[in-house]
A and B are shown apart, each in its own frame.
Chain A
């Protein structure tokens, strides 16, 4: 396979059980270079579990995980993050008591050597996210929309090859959503970084994603472009909860 077309991330039959519950079942997922992939599904569909599995926070019960072509099944979150897969968390993926500058700095410490190079990376990242005016502010005191951007800033300051965002748009107003989506597109276009987006805001997902994967009851339901997904009967049923007989 051509190097540029090799998937950044691939799962083969990825499964995770919690006791009797199968949270994610036999999932095959691929993330391609330079794409924004949406991962959607009703509550309890297994989105968060999938997220934790691919970032190494959960170990799979079965199946395999390949990150940048390397078999990462069972590897630690630290090992996977050092390959260039960086994630955020749903609830407050930043440090409340630290300044915005120090928050973003955290993302640079592992990959960038030297104080001035780190400062430069922080400044670039803040400028990209529109956080430059707030660099000296304590992150815990910022409005919610900016805090969400700080979370992305920490992750993106590490200059990942694959950025995984867990519901980054929750609680944002329309302007903030549009702004954040613009940031994601720039991250993809200017840095060639792929983005995995877990999100409930369907309008935003349809607008920004190249492809969408739908999960339902821990299983893969559909994959396709936004227009394909929008027209998919099974997806509509899963979301509307319609009864259907097999």
Chain B
């Protein structure tokens, strides 16, 4: 396993958590929650991009996590952490079944299936009376004791899951993912079970997306089918593309920047959808390696490779 730079991670996470403890303003707290959830979703999307697939079903798994937590809290009255874990596990389980069938396809086909799945799942919520139909579920509250500390809790849980995906990416498992993206037949000829690896990658990413959904449910207290359209994945793609996909720091930078700018644009009465579309377009045209690529001096594909 490669050097994980764990001291940097520990320092970074400690710093961010300390910063969240200072927050007293409710608006700033809500923006921090949005950033953490966006970052976790973007990291989940990027994890599947490691094996070369664009996973629009990310949005569906965020929704499955949110609704599982919603049902666990309001109907079953499960405790806080159990409800979040349930959201991640349910998304992971559904993704294994979904992935087993769909991961035999690639590229545009896989993308379109993910897109269709997201919309189909959304229709299921709106038809289900138990899940509140089109108006959704209300009253998904965290325990009273945690209420004042929600930004810290949400950022903390997001950091743990992001770190877990990072460790997985840097392991030999992560190298198989890159191999699948580059040339999956070669990986197959040295005895690696490609479908199994793809399903494992997809399930890990979907669990993270599920947890993001659970956190979303607790942060908003209210969820409805409209929250989990394909736009969730499109926004996540914007965070990844603007921040840079070469490194896991990219989607984190992209989330912080775009969520803050997006919140500001919303305040000006601008339409954030146009804003995100423009962000993706500009990033792809001007910054093929995103902002983090710019910082590490890697602009073009072959330029400045550090030799």
Contacts and interface: CB of A to CB of B under 8 A. Distances in A.
Contacts of B172: 105, 109, 115, 118
A171 interface: no
B190 A81 contact: yes
Interface in B79-108: none
Interface string A150-162: 0100110110000
Interface in A116-135: 118
A77 interface: yes
Contact of B179 (A57, A77, A78, A106): A106
Bin the interface of chain B by size. 20 to 34
Contact of A102 (B175, B186, B194): B175
Contacts of A107: 190
B188 interface: yes
A92 interface: yes
A98 B182 contact: yes
Interface residues of A, number: 33
Given A94-B186, A95-B182, A115-B1, A110 B175 contact: no
Given A106-B176, A115-B1, A81 B182 contact: no
Nearest to B302: A141
A95 B190 contact: no
Nearest to A55: B189
Contacts of B186: 88-89, 93-95, 106, 151, 154
Contacts of A154: 186, 190
A224 B185 CA distance: 32
A77 B172 CA distance: 22
B189 to A, nearest CB: 5
B183 interface: yes
Contacts of A109: 172, 175-176, 190, 192
Interface string A131-144: 00000001001000
A82 B191 CA distance: 5
A64 B172 CA distance: 36
B263 interface: no
25 contacts: A55-B189, A77-B185, A77-B188, A78-B194, A81-B189, A81-B190, A86-B189, A93-B183, A94-B186, A95-B179, A95-B186, A96-B182, A97-B178, A97-B181, A97-B182, A98-B175, A98-B182, A107-B190, A109-B172, A109-B175, A110-B190, A138-B305, A154-B186, A155-B189, A158-B190
Interface of A: 55, 57, 77-78, 81-82, 86-89, 92-98, 102, 105-107, 109-111, 115, 118, 138, 141, 151, 154-155, 157-158
Q: What 3 A-B pairs come out closest when comparing CB atoms?
A: A110-B191, A95-B182, A158-B190
Interface of B: 1, 172, 175-176, 178-179, 181-183, 185-194, 305, 307
